[in-house]
Amino acid sequence: DIVMTQSPDSLAVSLGERATINCKSSQSILYSSNNKNYLAWYQQRPGQPPQLLIYWASTRESGVPDRFSGSGSGTDFTLTISSLQAEDVAVYYCQQYYLTPYTFGQGTKLEIK
Amino acid sequence: EVQVVESGGDLVQPGGSLKLSCAASGFNFSGFAMHWVRQAPGKGLEWVGHIRSKSNNYGTAYAASVKGRFIFSRDDSKNTAYLQMNSLKIEDTAVYYCTDGDYAYWGQGTLVTVSS
């Protein structure tokens, strides 16, 4: 199985500041034939189901604010929130969908400093 | 408007069985795989598996933790996916979510509690 490891486990950032969450896969999730990274990011607010933010590592889902961006390739990926808002308090997960089982990272809890 | 609604969660004894339903509307259900994801209380997300569309022969894939005990099915005429859970274990206690093949649409989940 592909193991997804996120860092840090928790993060406190001031309002308006940048938040960065990292995700590392145990093997490359870049499919060479289409040059796509099979990596998604989700936000889960307390008591809510997960919400898709980013897919193909860097494509923002419709309706997601542009302060959210994804980057990276191969085995190393980053989710960046450029200017933290109060409503961004949540747990963030990465997931690979390159090979089944489509494993998730352990989650990163983002709080306001 | 897209809706995904899970149902069927309940309290069940270890070794018991339960069948969850996932009713979808507002998108082309028959053209998409349907995934199941679970979340144990206070824990992270775990991919349980998926059932693909008819055009992909209703192929299924399961997490190792549930393989041989859980069975996915779907009724495209009812826009509904199902999760048959057998030989339930205490560690299967979780909120079970279903989501479409692109993970764009999620239900609110249904709670399964396995306890004696």
Q: What is the per-residue pLDDT across B38-48, written as a single tens digit (0 to 9) for each?
A: 999 999 999 99
Is A104–B45 a contact, with Cβ atoms under 8 angstroms apart? yes
Nearest CA of chain B to the CA of A52: how many Å? 6
- Residue B90, classed as helix, strand or coil, is helix
Comparing alpha-carbon positions, the chain A residue that sits nearest to B35 is A102
The confidence score (pLDDT) of residue A82 equals: 98
Percent with pLDDT over 90 in chain B = 97
Residue ranges of A 51-80 with Cβ closer than 8 A to chain B: 51-52, 55, 61
**How many Cβ atoms sit within 10 Å of the Cβ of residue A80?**
13
Q: Mean pLDDT per 10-residue run, chain A (113 residues)?
A: 98 98 98 97 97 98 97 98 98 97 98 97
Would you put residue B68 in left (φ > 0), alpha (ψ -120 to 50) or beta? left
Sequential pLDDT tens for chain B (116 residues): 999 999 999 999 999 999 999 999 999 999 999 999 999 999 999 999 999 999 999 999 999 999 999 999 999 999 999 999 999 999 999 999 999 989 999 999 999 999 99
**Residue recorded with tokens 């509904």:** B80
The confidence score (pLDDT) of residue B33 equals: 97
User: Which of A1, A49, A61 shows the shortest C-beta gap to B106?
Assistant: A49
The confidence score (pLDDT) of residue A24 equals: 98
The confidence score (pLDDT) of residue A67 equals: 98
B35 touches chain A (CB under 8 A): yes
Average pLDDT along chain A: 98
Q: DSSP readout, B41-85?
A: TT--EEEEEEE--GGGTT-EEE-TTTTTTEEEEEEGGGTEEEEEE
The confidence score (pLDDT) of residue A73 equals: 98
The confidence score (pLDDT) of residue A105 equals: 98
Provide the number of CB pairs (under 8 Å) joining chain A to chain B: 49
B44 touches chain A (CB under 8 A): yes
Comparing alpha-carbon positions, the chain B residue that sits nearest to A56 is B102
CA B73 – CA B49 distance, rounded (Å): 11
A36 touches chain B (CB under 8 A): no
The confidence score (pLDDT) of residue A57 equals: 98
The confidence score (pLDDT) of residue B113 equals: 98
- Tokens, residue B57: 């022969």
* Cα-to-chain-centroid distance, residue B11: 16
- List the beta bridge partners of residue A98: none
